[in-house]
Amino acid sequence: MGTQSMTKRIDRLRARMSVGFPLLLAGAALLVVSNGRWILPLATWLYPVLLVRYVRTAPKLWRGLLVAYLVFLVATPVMWLGLWPFPPLFMAKISALGAAFSVLPYLLDRLSEGRIRGVAQTLVFPSSAVALELVFTLRFSKTTWGNLAYTQSESLPLLQLASIAGIWGITFLMLWLAPVANNVWRSGWTDGRARAGGAVYGLVLAAVVLFGSARLLFFAPSGDTFRVASVTPPEILDLIAPEDAPLFLQIMMKQEVDEARAANLRAALESTYDALLEDTRREARAGARLVVWPEGGLISFDEEQDEALIGQGRQLAQEEEIYLAMTIALLPGASGGPNENRLLLITPSGEVVQTYWKHHTVPVIEEPFAVPGSERPFVHETAFTTLGGVICYDMDSPSFLRSAGRDGVDVLLAPSGDWPVIKELHSRMALVRAVEQGFSMVRPANHGLNLVTDYQGRVLGRLDHYDTSDRRLSAAVPERGVTTVYQRTGDVLPWLCLALTVLFIVFLIRHRVLRDSG
């Protein structure tokens, strides 16, 4: 009997391994293209299904979790290759911590099997995943980079859910599929509990799609529009030697540089200013009432030059009778004060009515060297619309942008600066903010994608920095935005998920105590 029992156990183990290993490989492959540099939107829905199945069927729980952790640990740097401009050690720490947070929902999902019943069991995985992402965002990353919702920005009906529950609602809906599908996978559709979970999920998904479709069809922007233009400076990399390209970053990070080479870089930058001003004038004369520049449209290296450049912007706005969203960065160098990354709103009378300093500076390369940013997005009411403004990385924080929505911003100005591998994902993130907060958006981007969108996520204008040398984009933008549920309720859903996760954990602990005591 002993030999036969051992043989059966070995056979069962082989059967599980023969199924589990292909599931693991398929899940890992889908994970790599689910987010980050390479995005296949369907993969974002499917990889959790396969990884949940692998962890649930692993012969030993700790082994399944360890393998899942290693999958996330290895996949993360591949997914985000070139998108994080940080030192390798910093990236390794973030990857290790992120992998630990990613694998915990798989642990809770497996522990809940047979202990939590019915539809409630299917909520363990998505609730804990959303809750842990909230904790990771608030405690460690300080940004929503990596949130799965951004991968679905091209699905406009689904995207409308962000107007109610933010990115968290979309993430929850995608992750909820994994336990539902696995319950049906394990027990079949004839099992009453699996069927109930599938039916509830199907109804919720259908309701979300119907809501989104109805919002797009029956509540599309209507009413007056106005012409807005974005103007991006000529390509500086065409004007300098390749070996001088890192100088700008070195100056920004207050490092000592060769003064002769730095002088050449400054001269090359200054040679682009006239073209930027002239292109702005052309767009004004073509009918633009508002012209927006990308992050760092002008660069000054001392206060005297800074004042002179701002004076040119004021004069241009007054002469052409336009609103000018002028961006200027002051980089005093190693011997000067902190850097200033600013967005100035100038009225048709030439008056600077708003000066905004970038709030969320990029860790490592910006944060240690910059003036502390403005506490909230600027808001300025004109005769035809209410404008708001932030800069680049600020767009990655839903909570920071919510004040703009609550303050009644109709059109948000979001000058940005990217680089080739980041341009697609970063523009996706910005587009979701517009739907969340109910404002249209003008986002000119140096070395990225220039976007103009309405408050439902429709792209009204798009220009890739790398596709043309004429980097002017114009579009007709709705004068009015809308009020959204998310403006008012904020991040209620992830906090509810956190509370629900705590309850699940307490229940599982209590179940274990009662079982051991019985």
Res. 34 pLDDT band, cuts 50 70 90:
very high
Q: In sequence order, what are the residues at sequence separation of 6 or more whose Cβ sits closer than 8 angstroms to the Cβ of residue 448?
A: 294, 416, 417, 418, 419, 422, 423, 426, 427, 465
Element (H, E) at 381: strand 378-381
- Domain hosting residue 198, numbered range: 2-219
Domain boundary pick from 161, 187, 219: 219
Per residue in 172-209, pLDDT (tens digit) is 999 999 999 999 999 988 898 899 999 999 999 999 99
Residues 258, 148 share a domain: no
Residues 108, 136 share a domain: yes
The answer to whether residue 349 sits within a structural domain is yes
Domain boundary pick from 190, 219, 248: 219
**Which residues does residue 290 pair with via DSSP β-bridges, in sequence order?**
228, 323
Cα 103 to the center of its chain, rounded Å: 21
Per residue in 407-462, pLDDT (tens digit) is 999 999 999 999 999 999 999 999 999 999 999 999 999 999 999 999 999 999 99
Is 373 a residue whose pLDDT tops 80? yes
2-32 vs 41-57: helix crossing angle, rounded to 10 = 160
Give CA–CA dist 84/36, Å, rounded: 10
Give CA–CA dist 94/103, Å, rounded: 14
The CA angle 326-332-333, to the nearest 5 degrees, is: 130
The answer to whether residue 444 sits within a structural domain is yes
Average pLDDT of the chain to the nearest whole number: 93
The answer to whether residue 490 sits within a structural domain is no
Q: Residue 19: what pLDDT?
A: 60
Of 266 and 13, the one with more pLDDT: 266
* CA-based torsion, 192, 196, 198, 199: positive or negative: positive
Residues 337, 195 share a domain: no
The answer to whether residue 398 sits within a structural domain is yes
Token pair in block for residue 484? 């959204």
Q: Residue 240: what pLDDT?
A: 86
Amino acid (one-letter) located at 300: S
Give the least confident one: 155-159, 205-209, 255-259, 436-440. Answer: 255-259
| b/e 377-414 (16+ beta carbons within 10 angstroms → b) | bbbbebebbbbbbbbbbbbbbbebbbbbbeebbbbbbb
Res. 9 pLDDT band, cuts 50 70 90:
low
Residues 422, 310 share a domain: yes
Token pair in block for residue 399? 């909570």
Domain boundary pick from 219, 246, 270: 219
The answer to whether residue 489 sits within a structural domain is no
Residues 205, 191 share a domain: yes
Token pair in block for residue 238? 């065409």
Of 28 and 5, the one with more pLDDT: 28
Q: Residue 4: what pLDDT?
A: 64
Residues 297, 179 share a domain: no
Res. 3 pLDDT band, cuts 50 70 90:
low
The answer to whether residue 515 sits within a structural domain is no
Token pair in block for residue 500? 């629900």
Residues 151, 280 share a domain: no
CATH at residue 414: 3.60.110.10
Instruction: Return the residue matching tokens 């004068």.
Output: 479
Residues 209, 235 share a domain: no
Q: Residue 20: what pLDDT?
A: 77
Q: Are 342 and 328 in contact (CB under 8 A)?
A: yes
Give the least confident one: 168-182, 242-256, 391-405, 406-420. Answer: 242-256
Token pair in block for residue 39? 């995005």
Give CA–CA dist 453/439, Å, rounded: 9
DSSP label of 239: T
Cα 193 to the center of its chain, rounded Å: 36
Is 10 a residue whose pLDDT tops 80? no
The CA angle 334-343-263, to the nearest 5 degrees, is: 35
Q: Residue 140: what pLDDT?
A: 83
The answer to whether residue 259 sits within a structural domain is yes
Q: In sequence order, what are the residues at sequence separation of 6 or more whose Cβ sits closer than 8 angstroms to the Cβ of residue 87?
A: 364
Return the percentage of the chain with pLDDT > 70, whole number.
Answer: 96
The answer to whether residue 277 sits within a structural domain is yes
By residue count, the chain amounts to 518
Per residue in 457-468, pLDDT (tens digit) is 999 999 999 999
DSSP label of 389: E
162-187 vs 492-517: helix crossing angle, rounded to 10 = 30
Res. 478 pLDDT band, cuts 50 70 90:
very high
| b/e 180-195 (16+ beta carbons within 10 angstroms → b) | bbbbbeeeeeeeeebe
Total of domains in the chain:
2
Q: Residue 237: what pLDDT?
A: 83
Residues 268, 407 share a domain: yes
Strand bridging mode 298-300 / 323-330: parallel
* CA-based torsion, 160, 166, 169, 171: positive or negative: positive
Give the least confident one: 11-25, 263-277, 381-395, 400-414. Answer: 11-25
Residues 465, 418 share a domain: yes
Residues 417, 321 share a domain: yes
Residues 351, 205 share a domain: no
Is 64 a residue whose pLDDT tops 80? yes
Give CA–CA dist 396/361, Å, rounded: 11
Is 154 a residue whose pLDDT tops 80? yes
Give CA–CA dist 290/313, Å, rounded: 13
Return the percentage of the chain with pLDDT > 90, whole number.
Answer: 79
Which of 474, 452, 447 is CA-nearest to residue 234?
447
Q: Residue 89: what pLDDT?
A: 84
Which of 455, 454, 472 is CA-nearest to residue 463?
472
